[in-house]
Chains A and B, each alone.
Chain A
Amino acid sequence: AQSVAQPEDQVNVAEGNPLTVKCTYSVSGNPYLFWYVQYPNRGLQFLLKYITGDNLVKGSYGFEAEFNKSQTSFHLKKPSALVSDSALYFCAVRDITDKLIFGTGTRLQVFP
Chain B
Amino acid sequence: DVKVTQSSRYLVKRTGEKVFLECVQDMDHENMFWYRQDPGLGLRLIYFSYDVKMKEKGDIPEGYSVSREKKERFSLILESASTNQTSMYLCASRGGGPRDSYEQYFGPGTRLTVT
Contacts and interface: CB of A to CB of B under 8 A. Distances in A.
A84 B41 CA distance: 24
Nearest to B4: A43
Interface stretch (B14-22, B67-75, B79-87, B99-107): B99-107
Contacts of A94: 102
Nearest to B33: A99
Contacts of B98: none
B90 A49 contact: no
Contacts, number: 47
Contact of B45 (A36, A46, A99): A99
Sorting the interface of chain A by its residue count into under 10, 10 to 19, 20 to 34 or 35 or more gives 20 to 34
Interface residues of B, number: 23
A51 interface: yes
Contact of B102 (A43, A100, A103, A105): A100
Interface string A31-46: 0101010000111111
Interface string A43-59: 11110010100000000
B111 interface: yes
Contacts of A103: 42
Given A102-B43, A104-B42, A105-B42, A43 B108 contact: yes
Contacts of A45: 106
A19 B101 CA distance: 27
Interface of A: 9, 32, 34, 36, 41-46, 49, 51, 90, 94, 98-100, 102-105
11 contacts: A41-B111, A44-B106, A46-B103, A90-B42, A94-B102, A98-B31, A99-B33, A100-B102, A104-B40, A104-B41, A105-B42
